[in-house]
Amino acid sequence: MAAIIAQLDASSTFYRCTYDVFLSYRGEDTRKGFTDHLYRALEQAGFHTFRDDDEIKRGANIAAEIQRAVQESRVSIIVFSKNYASSTWCLDELVKIMERRKADDGLMVMLVFYDVDPSHVRKLTGSFANSFSGPEDHFKEDIDKVEGWRRALRDVEDLGGMVLGDR
């Protein structure tokens, strides 16, 4: 976590945004552990951090709020975990993050591979392959959406990241 905070401190030339950091993570995998610790460390270091369970008001349009938060953040930290790709919410967040990165509008993207091999994410193998075994059956009307998820996962290949295990 210290390495993440050090990178954020070094990137003080960003434009003004609503959030310093947007956290993208699979709650069932990391919420009660790593992500909670990371969130607290970021907040204690003075970084206003968007985390869905804290920032979205009851009754709000969740998808719209998440899209807005991604757009209004200067840094996105993606915590890849075993079940990340089994969540359409996470995959939609990832697509939006990678679209912003490609637009080159100043978004910094940081990756954390939590208890998952980075090559599984990039090559869509392991638990990431399982998430894509047959999603077309569930999204027959929107194959483009599934392909967008796959493309976004492959696009992280040129980004470095931290590899952390469940400790």
Question: What pLDDT, in 10s, does the model give residues 63-73?
Answer: 888 888 899 99
Tokens of 50: 């968007």
Q: CB under 8 Å to 21, separation ≥6 — which residues?
A: 8, 42, 47, 48, 49, 50, 73, 74, 75, 76, 77
Average pLDDT in the 16-41 region?
90
Domain ranges of the chain: 2-164
53 DSSP assignment: H
Domain at 2-164, CATH from 3.60.90.10, 3.40.50.10140, 2.20.130.10, 1.20.1260.10: 3.40.50.10140
Give residue 11's identity as a one-letter amino acid code: S
- Put the strands of the sheet holding 73-80 in their side by side order: 49-50, 19-25, 73-80, 108-114, 161-164
Question: What pLDDT, in 10s, does the model give residues 127-148?
Answer: 888 776 655 566 666 788 888 9
CA–centroid distance for 129 within its chain: 18
Q: Would you say residue 41 has pLDDT above 80?
A: yes
Query: How far is Cα 46 from Cα 5, in angstroms, rounded to an integer?
Result: 10
**C-beta of residue 112 within 8 angstroms of C-beta of residue 161:** yes
- Per the residue annotation, which of 43, 93, 99, 147 is the catalytic one? 93
Query: pLDDT exceeding 70 applies to what percent of the chain?
Result: 78
- The question of whether 93 is a catalytic residue gets the answer yes
DSSP string for 95-159 = HHHHHHHHTTSS-EEEEEEESS-HHHHHHT-THHHHHTSSHHHH-GGGHHHHHHHHHHHHHGGGS
